[in-house]
């Protein structure tokens, strides 16, 4: 289990590095692709957390 979490953490860190590198403007094509996938995953996670948060808070009223 620790190995899987370590791999996921390394992928997240690598994605963040690619986003930073692509934002600077001198990244190769593969790094821009990784950055795009990382940002897309971030948006999906954000929208999923919003939708689950609205369901939870709606049941408390």
Tens of pLDDT, residue by residue over 18-51, are 999 999 999 999 999 999 999 999 999 999 988 8
**Domain assignment of residue 3, yes or no:** no
| Counted domains in the chain | 1
Task: Indicate whether 54 pLDDT > 90.
Answer: no
Give me the half-sphere count of Cα atoms (radius 13 Å) on the Cβ side of residue 7.
Answer: 3
- Please report whether residue 9 resides in a domain: no
On whether the CB atoms of residues 22 and 35 are closer than 8 A, the answer is yes
Please check whether residue 8 lies inside any domain of the structure: no
Which DSSP state fits 60?
Answer: T
In degrees, rounded to 5, the angle at the alpha carbon of residue 45 between the alpha carbons of residues 40 and 48 is 125
In a domain? residue 49? yes
The parent domain of residue 21 ranges over 16-53
Residue 58 lies in a domain: no
pTM > 0.85: yes or no: no
Question: What pLDDT shows up at residue 59?
Answer: 52
pLDDT tops 90 at residue 60: no
pLDDT of 58 above 60 = no
Q: Which two tokens stand for residue 4?
A: 């899987």
Residue 39 CA, distance from chain mean position? 6
In a domain, 41, yes or no: yes
């Amino acid at each position: 289990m620790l190995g899987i979490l370590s791999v996921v953490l390394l992928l997240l860190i690598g994605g963040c590095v690619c986003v930073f590198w692509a934002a600077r403007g001198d990244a190769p094509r593969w790094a821009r692709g990784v950055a795009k996938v990382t940002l897309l995953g971030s948006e999906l996670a954000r929208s999923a957390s919003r939708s689950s948060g609205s369901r939870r808070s709606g049941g408390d009223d």
